[in-house]
Amino acid sequence: MAFEVRFEDSRTRARVGRLTTPHGAVETPVFMDVGTLGTVKALEPRDLEELGTQVVLGNTYHLLLRPGAEVIAAAGGLHRFMRWDGPILTDSGGFQVFSLARMRQITEEGCRFNSHIDGHEFFLGPKESMAMQRVLGSDIAMVFDECLPYPCARERAEKSVEQTLRWARRSKEEPHAEGQQVFGIVQGGIHDDLRRHCAEELVAIGFDGYAIGGVSVGEPEEFMYRAVEASVPFLPKDSPRYVMGLGVPHQMAECVARGVDMFDCVIPTRIARHGTAITRHGNVAIKAAKWTFDPGPVEEGCDCYCCRNFSRSYVRHLLACDEILGLRLLTIHNVRALNRFMEEMRSAIAGGTFSEWKEQIRKETTNNE
């Protein structure tokens, strides 16, 4: 079995699992680091190994545009191209088509669009997306779907869900790389019945795992949790569940309590480039003047290379001078912070203390606010 539930919390839907892939086992709940263009920004593969990263994401849309399928195929796939030996999950490119493309025309077969880079015309649909993911050779491939914006009218959401389901069936029928798992994506916006309908239809098609898409797209936090609650009960217990695009610690803890196993987000690397550190007590602006003389680490108790060796004062100095090392050190810290957070969560679930641990996380976050 590719996914095995190893521990279950007695008071919530939280669980610890193990997902087996051709490039190694993944302990869940897991945060997956985003390497959109075949690299997690500012980090080397050996950094990721040291920081406890289990899965790296690549993106079909971006890699299709640059460097292109031919280059990656010639290199022997994305693992060899980027020199990462661990598991890789690739997004289908659907979200980027609908959010980044300059112009787009949706048809039953997919979407014709103009590149956000140079305006060059491309076509991406279930067939093309799965073909590209086959070239990439990812361990997990996502079906091509339409991600709904927020807010979205009911009628628009209904049509989109049906289109997503038709594309999901076609994605499932396309050939995929040896050992490659394929995940379906539940859409439906803020409408509980559409979420349930989409989940049940995807399960009827049959996928290796199931993602909950269309969340963290600007909706209030309570709507995000509702989308999860409206989807998870209708997904198989013996398959991994993945909330796409979410990386805020207390939100991940709440979603795990609702039965989610996997997450990804650009947050740790993106906010590092803006001088912000993720800590157990909330985000901290390291560029702030109050840290000018501070001899302490970016976060007390953190075991990352940055915190073991450098002070807030020094990291702030690097950031103020636009030194690349400052961005790299803060990225190292942020990636480790989220990986450590997930390690703590897995231990709490396995040890039967998840509810208390989650409450403590909530208090720390609230106090920081």
Instruction: For the sheet with 15-21, list strands across it.
Output: 3-8, 15-21, 24-28
Sign of the torsion formed by the C-alpha atoms of 99, 102, 107 and 111: negative
* Per-residue pLDDT at 262: 98
* Interval 257-301: pLDDT, tens: 999 999 999 999 999 999 999 999 999 999 999 999 999 999 999
Judging by beta carbons within 10 Å of its beta carbon (0-12, 13-18, 19+), is residue 333 exposed, middle or buried?
A: buried
Determine the pLDDT at residue 369: 43
Average pLDDT value over all residues in the chain: 95
What's the confidence (pLDDT) of residue 113? 87
Supply 90's token pair.
């690739």
CATH 3.20.20.105 residue ranges of the chain are: 3-264
Active site residues: 91, 264
Q: What percent of the chain has pLDDT over 90?
A: 89
- Gap between the Cα atoms of 20 and 23, Å rounded: 8
- What is the third-level CATH fold of 3-264? TIM Barrel (3.20.20)
pLDDT given for residue 109 in this prediction: 96
pLDDT tens string 194-220? 999 999 999 999 999 999 999 988 899
**For the chain, first and last CA: distance in Å?**
43
- Residues with Cβ < 8 Å from 360, sequence gap 6 or more? none
Closest CA to 91 of 102, 104, 100: 100
Taking the CA atoms of the chain, what radius of gyration do you get in angstroms? Answer: 20
Identify the band that residue 171 occupies on the pLDDT scale cut at 50, 70 and 90.
Answer: very high
Supply the pLDDT for residue 116. 86
The mean pLDDT of 236-240, rounded to a whole number, is: 98
Instruction: Mean pLDDT check: name the lowest of 188-202, 318-332, 354-368.
Output: 354-368
Is the pLDDT confidence value at 367 over 60?
no
- Please check the confidence at residue 1 and state whether its pLDDT lies above 70: no
pLDDT cut 70: percent of the chain above it = 99
